[in-house]
Amino acid sequence: MKPMNILGMVLTILGILMFFWGLIAGFMYAQIKGVNAIIMIYSLFPLLLGPWLWLGETPGALKKFVEAKIEKSALEKARKGGT
């Protein structure tokens, strides 16, 4: 395996662990806020970068979700008159 593939695998595993850590901690306190929310948000970066470095591409469903969010954000910004 190339070093980039290993880095991608480590990032993917780290992202999964961070995501579930934030999720489980949120269930324990019956709400996701504060540090738990930050952990869940920051887990998305390794979850996006990891598979790309490891496998050469991001998962299709995740890619479509992110593209839809970006498009929705751009449409809302255009309606408000922003550039």
> pLDDT at position 83, please?
55
Closest CA to 18 of 33, 36, 5: 36
Residue type, position 35, single letter: V
The pLDDT tens digits for 27-70 are 887 777 777 778 888 888 888 888 888 887 666 777 787 788 78
Say whether pLDDT at 73 is over 60: yes
What is the count of structural domains for the chain?
Answer: 1
> pLDDT at position 63, please?
72
For residue 66, tell me if it sits in a domain: no
Max Cα-Cα span within the chain: 49
Distance CA 53, CA 3 (A): 10
For residue 68, tell me if it sits in a domain: no
Terminal-residue alpha carbon distance, the chain? 44
Range of the domain at 14: 3-58
DSSP reduced 3-state for 24: helix
Q: Is 32 left (phi over 0), alpha (psi -120 to 50) or beta?
A: beta
Q: What is the mean pLDDT of residues 8-18?
A: 91
